[in-house]
């Protein structure tokens, strides 16, 4: 599928000149999420889940007062006591969307960490559109991201509602790295390759929700070019840079990029074998002794991202590498930063937008640095 197919192509580009060195940009920014006064209400859905608790903690650390929403009043009350801030809580079951619609108000900022998004995400997004609330989430499931852009976005745009899905380590850091590489490469660039890598014992430190989402994502049909996995980059980058015709995204561990690319092909092929989808769903649902890694375990796992811009002949023009940061820690911190910024300043535009379009390139650098990303170019 061509990179720019079916997407409204804005002619916006941040300029043909190379941007300042990211190291210089980072040097001028703070290293923590800045506390701010937020005039709009932040509603955190899935607050008692693993990712939700990370977001809630980051919000409260920075003096925001989110409404904690989830299915269990007992768990919500316990979280409120743990955070020690007397926060408002609301019982919401996404299987009964009316409970969320009753809670939301126009101009709220809704942050959803309720997964798997394939099963639970659509009613939440539709409620946000109906109530005219700005929407952010931690989704990393390719098929869901595509459905937001292709199916929900037109209605959101007509209602003047902004949707910013995929605000986690995947795929915010890759979008930022890709943009920095493309901007530095200038007009010669026609494509970009993005690689996500995790080092450490990542397999033993995944949350229940992440395993369920990963199972759904592995079985969903991807919408990518050969050797690539489905990602937000395919949707967000061509929307603003229509001259970019090739976007590839791949995943890997501490092995080489070549292994990561080969692995993407093998996973896609294996998912089509008889019995594999059912097995993956079963594995995703296996119980764990705890919901996710603690702070010490998170410290043992780090992720980094590379992005390489190339020209029409395949020549490499510019490579940017961002890291290292624990993906869970980044996701909690970045969603908090994004929610506070949206509550304070709003997000221009409407419909489904990527992180660069939502916040602007420099602000996104600031948000990623605040969430823990470091640069090594």
pLDDT at 16: 34
Residues 193-218: pLDDT tens digits? 999 998 876 544 444 444 444 444 44
State how far the Cα of 259 lies from the Cα of 56, in Å rounded to an integer: 37
Mean pLDDT of 129-156: 97
User: Which structural domains are found in the chain, ordered by start?
Assistant: 31-168+329-359 (3.40.50.720), 169-327 (no CATH)
Give the Å distances, CA to CA, from 248 to 234, 305, 352.
8, 13, 20
Q: How far is CA 309 from the centre of its chain?
A: 21
DSSP assignment, residue 18? P
pLDDT at residue 79 tops 60? yes
Phi, psi of 88 (to 5 degrees): -70, 145
Residue 302 and residue 282 in contact, taking contact as beta carbons nearer than 8 Å:
no
Contact status, residue 323 vs residue 135, Cβ threshold 8 Å:
no
> How long a stretch of residues is the chain?
377
Q: Can you tell me the distance from the alpha carbon of 100 to that of 112, in angstroms, rounded to the nearest whole number?
A: 11
272 vs 37 pLDDT, higher one: 37
Global pTM value = 0.79
Q: What is the rounded distance in angstroms from the CA atom of residue 296 to the CA atom of residue 107?
A: 37
Task: Read off the pLDDT of residues 23-52 as tens digits, 9 standing for 90 and up.
Answer: 434 433 444 444 456 689 999 999 999 999
* DSSP H or E segment with residue 243: none
The residues near 165 (Cβ < 8 Å, ≥ 6 apart) are 125, 135, 136, 137, 139, 144, 145, 148, 232, 352
* Whether residue 151 has pLDDT greater than 90: yes
Using CA atoms, how far apart are residues 131 and 129, in angstroms rounded to an integer? 5
**Residue 37, pLDDT score:** 67
Residue 76: alpha-carbon gap to chain centroid:
24
Name beta bridge partners: 20.
none
Confidence of residue 104 (pLDDT cuts 50, 70, 90): very high
Q: What is the C-alpha separation between 41 and 67, in angstroms, rounded?
A: 8
Confidence category of residue 323, pLDDT binned at 50, 70, 90: confident
Average pLDDT on 126-149 reads 96
Q: What is the pLDDT of residue 127?
A: 98
Closest CA to 107 of 159, 58, 56: 159
Q: Which two tokens stand for residue 197?
A: 């890598």
Q: In this structure, are residues 356 and 240 in contact, taking their beta carbons and an 8 Å threshold?
A: yes
Nearest to 116 by CA among 197, 220, 200, 202: 220
Which of 175-189, 256-270, 340-354 shows the lowest per-residue confidence on average (mean pLDDT)? Answer: 256-270
CA distance 177 to 309: 10
Say how far apart CA 122 and CA 152 lie, in whole Å: 9
Whether residue 340 has pLDDT greater than 80: yes
Q: How far apart are CA 358 and CA 144, in angstroms?
A: 19
Phi, psi of 374 (to 5 degrees): -120, 160
């Amino acid at each position: 599928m061509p990179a720019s197919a079916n997407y409204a192509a804005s002619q916006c580009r941040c300029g043909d000149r190379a941007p300042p060195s990211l190291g210089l940009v980072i040097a001028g920014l703070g290293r923590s999420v800045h506390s701010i006064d937020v005039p709009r209400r932040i509603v955190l859905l899935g607050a008692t889940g693993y990712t939700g608790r990370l977001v809630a903690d980051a919000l409260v650390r920075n003096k925001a007062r989110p409404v904690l929403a989830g299915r269990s009043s007992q768990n919500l009350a316990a979280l409120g006591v743990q955070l020690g801030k007397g926060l408002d809580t609301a019982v919401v079951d996404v299987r009964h969307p009316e409970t969320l619609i009753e809670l939301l108000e126009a101009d709220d900022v809704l942050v959803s960490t309720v997964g798997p998004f394939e099963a639970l995400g659509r009613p939440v997004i539709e409620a946000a559109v109906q109530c005219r609330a700005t929407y952010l989430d931690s989704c990393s499931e390719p098929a869901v991201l595509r459905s937001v852009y292709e199916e929900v976005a037109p209605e959101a745009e007509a209602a003047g509602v902004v949707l910013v899905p995929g605000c986690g380590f995947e795929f915010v850091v890759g979008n930022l790295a890709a943009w920095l590489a493309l901007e530095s490469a200038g007009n010669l660039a026609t494509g970009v390759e993005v690689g996500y890598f995790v080092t450490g014992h990542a397999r033993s430190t995944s949350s229940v929700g992440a395993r369920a989402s990963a199972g759904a994502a592995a079985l969903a049909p991807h919408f990518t070019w050969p050797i690539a996995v489905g990602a937000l980059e395919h949707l967000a980058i061509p929307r603003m840079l229509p001259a970019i015709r090739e976007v590839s995204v791949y995943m890997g561990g501490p092995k080489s990029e070549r292994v990561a690319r080969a692995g993407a092909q093998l996973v896609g092929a294996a998912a089509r074998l008889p019995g594999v989808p059912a097995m993956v769903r079963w594995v995703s649902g296996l119980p764990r002794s705890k919901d996710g890694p603690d702070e010490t375990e998170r410290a043992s796992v780090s992720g980094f991202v590379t992005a390489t811009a190339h020209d029409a002949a395949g020549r490499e023009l510019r490579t940017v590498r961002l890291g290292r940061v624990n993906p869970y820690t980044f996701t909690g911190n970045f969603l908090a930063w994004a929610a506070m910024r949206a509550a304070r300043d709003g997000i221009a535009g409407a419909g489904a937008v990527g992180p660069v379009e939502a916040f602007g390139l420099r602000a996104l650098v600031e948000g990623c640095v605040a969430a823990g990303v470091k640069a090594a170019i």
